[in-house]
Amino acid sequence: MKLILIILLSILDTMPGVQIVQDSAMSVLLDEAVNGKRELVEIDGYRVQIYSSNCQQTAKSEALELESQLKDKINQTIYVQYLTPFWKVRLGDFRNYEEAKEYKKLFVQQYPDLMGDTYIVRDKIQVLQ
């Protein structure tokens, strides 16, 4: 079954006008099926930052609330980070700027209220190797 799915996706991926949109977990599973299990490593890349605050009274709870609101609605990994003195919420693991830019565009279309707080940032990202 895995092999049939892999072949079907690779055929569809080469057809003009066909765009495959899938959960990032599916990419990991397909990759494991084709290449075997691999190791998760950190490399330089990009993320989409959607929140940053250093307000001691509210920043942590606001960041965690935003994570909670989005966790079942988006297909990217959500990272809540405390980088003194800021709480930040960042999305995804993008290898290049163009991938992050495309995701940011889609994200702000879906969540226009967050447009003013949404930026592409350099970060260490997690990828399988």
- pLDDT tens digits, one per residue of 74-96: 999 999 999 999 999 999 999 99
Tokens representing 48 are 């989409």
Distances (CA, A) of 127 to 39, 71, 77, 92, 103: 8, 20, 12, 11, 17
Task: Kindly report, residue by residue over 2-47, the tens digit of the pLDDT.
Answer: 566 666 666 766 777 766 666 666 676 776 777 666 788 999 999 9
Q: What is the pLDDT of residue 80?
A: 97
CB 97 within 8 A of CB 120: yes
- Structural domains of the chain in order of their starting residue, each with its CATH number: 2-35 (no CATH), 40-128 (3.30.70)
* Spatial separation of the C-alpha atoms in residues 28 and 38, rounded to whole Å: 10
Q: pTM for this structure?
A: 0.70
**For tokens 């599973």, what's the residue?**
29
What is the average pLDDT across 123-129?
A: 91
